[in-house]
Amino acid sequence: MTLSDLSFDIERDPRWTALCTRDRSANGRFVYSVNTTGVYCRPSCAARRPLPRNVRFHATPDDAERAGFRACRRCHPHQKTQTIRFAIGESSLGLVLVASSDAGLRAVLFGEDAGELVRDLQSRLPDAALAVDAGGEQATLDAVVDCIEAPHLAFDQPLDLQGSSFQKKVWQALRRIPAGTTVSYGELARRLGVPDSARAIAAACAANPLAVAVPCHRVIAADGGLSGYRWGVARKRALLQREARA
């Protein structure tokens, strides 16, 4: 077989399309190796696209390593794909998606469309294997909806917080803000000993993947404004009004 024939075969393979588009949903289904570098990668790897004649596909990382290739240091294809279980339910503030790992609750997302919620989850966890588990996640979903409808109820299920050390520090601080009260971004920065980091605090709040369970809605602007909530000002206002009445 000539190099041109090999390139033609590779380009007709649907896995080549996944590689070219860096399709994150293909992660875990196969890896690809590059003869000229001796490296194998996930389909979503951000490395420069190789020439098709230099590419080989492998079902698993073990297969690639048995063929003599080493794991990419950028996308770490040898690391095991984590399974995230999720379920979607209804609340008075719209649809709610909850997602959990074996360690605890990983995401709570608001939305109006189930498909968009799943895509949002996939974008947040691009290397995870998502699995619908309506039955297994029902208790968690009920606990989250209870917090939405009756904010005086404490959410005491374990959380699997994944972020930078600074983000996790902010998120833990958010959980210490009592229901029915609010703080400004600047005040929260002062409490954490970083008084000049109000913008960084706001960014960490915006990156929070656990609506309600990590109550970033309790942080407001210095002038009392409610802007900056990932899931919309109307939801933020409704949550704060319910907590004020509870």
Q: Please list the active-site residues.
A: 216
Q: How many H helices and E strands in the chain?
A: 9, 10
Specify the CATH number for the domain of residue 212: 1.10.10.10
Give domain status of residue 156, yes or no. Answer: no
Per run of 10 residues, the mean pLDDT along the chain (length 246 residues) is 58 91 86 96 92 93 93 87 91 97 96 95 84 92 93 87 92 94 95 94 94 95 86 94 89
Question: Does residue 106 sit in the same domain as residue 145?
Answer: yes
Specify if 77 maps to a domain.
no
What is the tally of structural domains in the chain?
A: 3
Q: Specify if 157 maps to a domain.
A: no
The answer to the question of residue 221 being in a domain is yes
Q: Do 120 and 172 belong to one domain?
A: no
The whole-number pLDDT of residue 8 equals: 58
Kindly report whether the global pTM for this prediction surpasses the value 0.75. Answer: no
Chain-centre distance of CA 237, in angstroms?
A: 25
Q: Are residues 128 and 189 in the same domain?
A: no
Q: Classify residue 116: in a domain, yes or no.
A: yes
- Domain residues for the domain of 130 are 83-149
- Return the CATH number at 63: 3.40.10.10
